[in-house]
Structure 1
Amino acid sequence: MPTTAADVRRCSPADLNAFPDLFVDYCTNYDAVADFYAGDWREVGVRRDVAERAAARPVDREAMADALADQNAEWRGGGATQQNVEALRDPETVAVVTGQQVGLLTGPLYTIYKTITTLQLADEWAEQTGRTVVPVFWVEGEDHDFEEIAAAHVLRRNEVVSLPYEADVQENPGAVGRLPLTDEIDDVLDRLDETLPDSDFKPAVMEHVRAAYRPGTRIEDAFAQLLRSLFEGEGLVFMNPDDKRLKELTRPLFQRELDDPSTPAARVNATSQALRDRGYHAQVHARPTNLFWLEEGGRYPIDLADDGHFVLRTTDRTFSRSELQERLEAEPERFSPNVILRPLMQDHLLPTAAYVAGPGEVSYFAQYGDVYEWAGLERPLIHPRASVSLVEGKVQKVLDKYDRSVCDFRAQLDALFQEVVVETMDVDVDAIFQEATTEMHKALNALKPEVEDVDRTLGSSTEAARATIVEEMEDLKQRTVRAEKRHHDEVRAQLQKAQVNLRPQGALQERVVNVLYYLNKYSLDLIGDLRATLSTDTSSHQIVEL
């Protein structure tokens, strides 16, 4: 089990070959990207300034807190949570916010790491700024991509087991978070129970899961209830934007988008080009507008047509600007922000000082500076979430045996396997072939002038022979290594075991494996252990041996 932060090993995010260059530079070379962000997320002085501006932001704290009090009471939030909701009414209080789509059973591990970083950061900012700082989790249930959130993955005997929730859902079901869980969720939980090995901690883990994920419960409610129960007593405030009261508060922002739909898209795309000119990627592409139309039968992007009307994409339904404005006045809950407008809605509602972001979010926040200016909002500091690999003892033994680290593993295993095989061979293949190749070059160098004395045109023939011999030598070397690799089935099997645990499905562990696998094996206390162990210095990847 992890004990202290001093026990955490680290490696640069660049070494993992799993993150975009923009994110890597944000974590390790902030000055290179500083002009795309609100400030250096590591500097205490910057934090104090941002917190002061966040506190002064004109937020309707009373109406917002009333809505959050009701939401968190419905999710059985405890006294610490309600105390934090009440603290948001104070004009000196600020928030550290994170958010995530409502993935099945909380989704991959990164949801847990986001939450831990948010809780840690709230404590840290409170100490550094002298303010009350409330941790807030934005429950993103308005997306319409059911497939994206409808499966969880756990490990069993060094294999990845998928647990899909196979409900009968139409292609565009509207806000997936609203969907009530069907009886098929019981099948998912039964398969989870069968997949997780028996342990002293399994009854408690399954009790948490079954209490949250019940037929008839909305997906967003199940997600929030399970996550809340895993962080019981931490004071985490959950926020569901799919609430008429919060949409009413956001009406001025949505109105601004309808009045001027082209400017935000133009500004995002101009910044995107500036990023590309700098050699970075653009995470999102913008088009007018940044709103969806939300109804029980679907969630549709609202596009601006050439004639000035608005069209619901993939349909023949159109609105004039005045018609949409009337609908916004009467039914603000029908409108849903896209990936660009969502953080602006968040910071319109909350006194957000910092947002805890994953790599993709860090990347897209680089594109939004001019849109925040357009909206008249101050940008929060963007703090990268903890990026973590959990290394079980069985995996650490493999790493130790072959003198390897987590960061040596890539999406594909073949290159690492070959390196290990070459290192463990009795014969130094590289050395003997290098020696043979050197001798070959010496022989041809001596031969070349002799044959050219006979016929000058034979010099090119000598070089052609040299190229052919070098190619054949390399082919022979690779065949030698392949033959040796066939004799190392045990090496491959052990490296594959480590690969499945560290890079399941070729991705980072944190992007695939669900936390329940580890809680079942190491107890629910693992959450608290990680909270105490992981660092808010998230500039590097953290490696925790269990």
Structure 2
Amino acid sequence: MLLDGISFKNTGYFSSLICDYLDENPRLKPFYNRFPNLDNFKEQIEEKASSFSLESRLTLVKALKNQYRKVETSELTLSHIDALQTENTFTITTGHQLNLFTGPLYFLYKIVSAINLSKDLKEAYPDYNFVPVYWMATEDHDFEEINYFNFNGKKVQWNRTAEGPVGELSTDGLDDVFNLFALELGNSKNAEYLKELFKSAYLEHDNLADATRYLANELFKDYGLVIIDANDKVLKQELIPFIKEELFNNTSFTNVTETSEQLNAVNNDYTIQVNPREINVFYIKEGLRERIVFENERFSVLNTNLAWTKAEIEQELNEFPERFSPNVITRPLYQEVILPNLCYIGGGGELAYWFQLKQFFNKVNVPFPVLLLRNSVLVETESQHKKLQNLNISTNDIFLKQSTFINKKVREISNIDIDFSAQKETLQKQFEDLYALAEQTDKSFLGAVKAQEVKQIKGLEHLEKRLLKAQKKALADQVSRMTDLQNELFPNQSLQERNTNFSQFYLEYGKLLIPELIKHLNPLNKEFSLLKL
């Protein structure tokens, strides 16, 4: 059941850029197309429909059918793939790395957001079809980011060397990971399902892309999820003119750099998420993924002997488009070129770099999608929920940083008032009189008065901390219970969704887990949700 919600701003875990976006700060309007509400999708549909050709639809369906030829999926997913051939069908897309066994919980929340938004749009616009899509980041090469997941406070890790796109990595060696994970799971009915799921995904598929496709399909096929691997020659043929633009005109570098400067001018607190290079394309081939650079009138691939003239690299691109791989700057463009997409759903960090891309999209004449912050969730078990109630811990309390949280709760439950705010305010008012006296007599004493004020305020603060420490000791049992509870809900004092793997909750809730998320999460809700499952 949905327990409560808290604004993203009040969680303390989201940037000022994302909070301003959710508040629809007008100064951010130049950096996105349309804000995510149901009414705004009408114009988004019209814009995308006018720019996405039937030929591109047929190319997309051809590639998807080839990718699904060995996948046992649902009739709904197959019907969604077929529907993409028709001009009244659009996609709602989220993307994620190929994390081992899905990685952190927000993998689920991203896809649930895409599924539920597709449903909401179908109700609002019944003449159109909306297909939820999971874009597998098969071309990424940062293996260290994806080779583990956290289960019951332990790191389950795949140790091996890896080069090139992760989607092409052999699954050899994952049997050792399976054996260790199986021991941790136990022997319950839900544990046996998780073992079979891991085994079928990783021990019965040859590479990480196929394994991840199998896994995501098993979890979400009943909801018609379509999974796409863009590391595909058929699809990359669509990108050829945009890669040429990137190689020869450095279009993204110029436009993204300008946009980043404009974002900084709006607010210095906005962290620039990515910095463009002059060429934002990698070259991939047989375990290789390295940047393409232009030096000494030749295009070359870093850390290799590969090099071409302008005519030669153009020929290479035309003959082998699959060897050219977009980076974080150009991948979003690739997505919007090959999909009839209306909306991209991502986390705060992802949306932050999408805001840097609007001018670039305008320049290459590709419609910019609606940007939606994915659902964020804190899941409480029945036991944890009861403990929160018994300890009188509110939603706002539990999101506080631990030291602030404990200090606040100790003050609340203590029989002694250990808040010296009133005393410090009185002291500051007394010093105002001393400042006035020094002004009238000898201004050289102002520094001495200030020093005395600082000393006495610090003295009060020191005494307050000592008394608070003593009271914590007197209330050690309650402090311990509150600390333990917050640590359970915020592993490593971070958001649960960024740390815990879904398997930890599947052990308890089994097949109810995903349907309950589908049932209770509203993709257009602008709050962080708390759920008791």
Same fold flag (TM > 0.5) = yes
In structure 2, what is the Cα distance between the partners aligned to 1:322 and 1:344? 24
SS at 1:423 equivalent: helix
Map 1:493-504; keep pairs closer than 5 Å.
493-504=480-491
User: How many Å separate the matches in 1 of 2:444 and 2:142?
Assistant: 68
1:394-409 mapped onto 2 (5 Å cutoff): 394-409=383-398
AA in 1 matched with 2:4: R
Moved more, 473-482 or 336-345: 473-482
> Which residue matches 2:87?
91
What is residue 523 of structure 1 aligned with on the other side?
A: 510
Counterpart for residue 149 of structure 2: 152
Matches within 5 A, 1:303-318: 303-305=293-295, 307-315=296-304, 317-318=306-307
Report which stretch shifted further, 190-199 or 66-75. 190-199
1:356–1:460 Cα change, 3 Å: closer
Q: Residue 94 of structure 2: SS of its match in structure 1?
A: strand
Determine the C-alpha separation between the residues in 1 that align with 2:424 and 2:261. 52
- The 5 A counterparts of 1:34-45 are 34-44=29-39
State the SS of the aligned residue for 1:231. helix
TM-score, length-scaled by structure 1? 0.89
- CA change 1:365–1:458 in 2 (3 A) is closer
Match of 1:82 among 54, 59, 78: 78
Q: 1:367 aligns with which of 349, 356, 374?
A: 356
Quote the sequence identity (%). 27
Tell me the residue number matched to 1:165. Answer: 158
Structure 1 position 430 matched with structure 2 position 419:
yes
Deviation at 1:510, TM superposition (A): 1.0
Work out whether 1:190 is the aligned partner of 2:190: no
Amino acid at match of 2:500: V
Residue aligning to 1:132: 129
Question: Map of 1:201-220 to 2, 5 A cutoff?
Answer: 201-214=190-203, 217-220=206-209
One-letter identity of the residue aligned with 1:48: K
Runs (5+) with no aligned partner, structure 1? none
Is the 8 Å Cα contact of residues 8 and 533 (structure 1) preserved in structure 2? no
Q: Deviations over 1:283-307 (max 9, x none)?
A: 21111211100022321011233x4
Deviation at 1:240, TM superposition (A): 0.3
Determine helix, strand or coil for the equivalent of 1:163.
Answer: strand
Task: Give 1:32 shift.
Answer: 3.9
Alpha-carbon distance in structure 1 between the residues aligned to 2:458 and 2:43: 63
Listed as ranges, the matches of 1:240-255 within 5 Å are 240-255=229-244
Distance in 2 (alpha carbons) for counterparts of 1:264 and 1:99: 21
Match 1:113 to one of 109, 113, 136 = 109
CA gap of 1:440–1:204, structure 2 versus 1, over 3 A, is closer
- Code of the aligned partner of 2:263: L
Q: How far apart in 1 are the matches of 2:251 and 2:110?
A: 32
Greater Cα shift, 372-381 or 105-114: 372-381
Q: Indicate the residue corresponding to 1:268 in structure 2.
A: 256
Kept in 2, the 8 Å contact 1:312–1:318? The answer is: yes
8 Å CA contact 1:258–1:325 kept in 2: the answer is no
Counting matched residue pairs gives 525
Counterpart in 2 of 1:49?
Answer: 43
Answer yes or no: is the 8 Å Cα contact 1:99–1:139 preserved in 2.
yes
* Paired residues of 1:230 and 1:524 also in contact (CA < 8 A): no
1:442-461 alignment runs, 5 A limit: none
Aligned mates of 1:527, 1:456 — CA distance in 2? 70
| Deviation of the 1:268 alpha carbon | 0.3
Corresponding letter in the other structure for 1:265? F
Deviation at 1:327, TM superposition (A): 1.0
8 Å Cα contact 1:104/1:151 also seen in 2: yes
Q: Cα distance, 1:235 vs. partner?
A: 1.3
1:480-502 deviations in whole A, cap 9, x for unaligned? 21122233332333233222333
The aligned counterpart of 1:13 is: 8
Residue from 479, 482, 500 that aligns with 2:466: 479
2:274 to 284, 304, 311: 284
SS state of the match for residue 91, structure 2? Answer: strand
Change (3 A) 1:182 1:407: farther
Give the structure 2 partner of residue 23 of structure 1: 18
Question: In 2 relative to 1, CA 462–24 (structure 1 residues): closer, same or farther, beyond 3 Å?
Answer: closer
Task: Please point out which of 483, 506, 513 is paired with 2:500.
Answer: 513
- Contact kept in structure 2, 1:174 and 1:296, CA below 8 Å: yes
Aligned counterparts of 2:363 and 2:431: Cα–Cα separation in 1: 73
**Distance in 2 separating the partners of 1:444 and 1:146:** 60
Q: Secondary structure at the match of 2:221?
A: coil
CA–CA distance in structure 2, aligned partners of residues 376 and 223 of structure 1: 33
Q: CA deviation at 1:60?
A: 1.8
Contact residue 346 and residue 372 of structure 2 kept, 8 A: yes
- Alignment partners' CA distance in 2, 1:441 and 1:290: 59
The within-5 A match list for 1:173-188 is 173-183=163-173, 185-188=174-177
Shift in Å, 1:108: 1.0
Specify which of 341, 356, 365 is matched with residue 376 of structure 1. 365
For each residue in 1:407-447, what CA deviation from the matched residue of structure 2 results, as whole angstroms up to 9, or x when unmatched? 4345841221122122222211226x85599599879989x
Give the Cα–Cα distance (whole angstroms) in 2 for the partners of residues 240 and 459 of structure 1. 69
Output the CA distance in 1 between the equivalents of 2:350 and 2:452. 55
2:375 matches 1:386: yes
Distance 1:465 1:247, change over 3 A: closer
Could you tell me which residue of structure 1 aligns to residue 285 of structure 2?
A: 295
Matches within 5 A, 1:57-76: 57-58=52-53, 59-76=55-72
SS in 2 for 1:538: coil
The change in CA–CA distance for 1:483 and 1:216 in structure 2 (over 3 A counts) is same
Deviations 1:515-534 (A, max 9, x none): 11101111122101110111
Query: Which runs of 4 or more aligned residues in structure 1 lie more than 6 Å from their structure 2 counterparts after TM superposition?
Result: 439-446, 455-463
Structure 2 unaligned regions, length at least 5: none
SS in 1 for 2:77: helix
Answer yes or no: is the 8 Å Cα contact 2:167–2:207 preserved in 1.
yes
What is the RMSD computed on CA atoms of the aligned residues? 2.8
* C-alpha distance in 1 between matches for 2:443 and 2:271: 54
Report Cα offsets for 1:27-71 as digits up to 9, x if no partner.
Answer: 232534222111121141x20121122223125222220110121
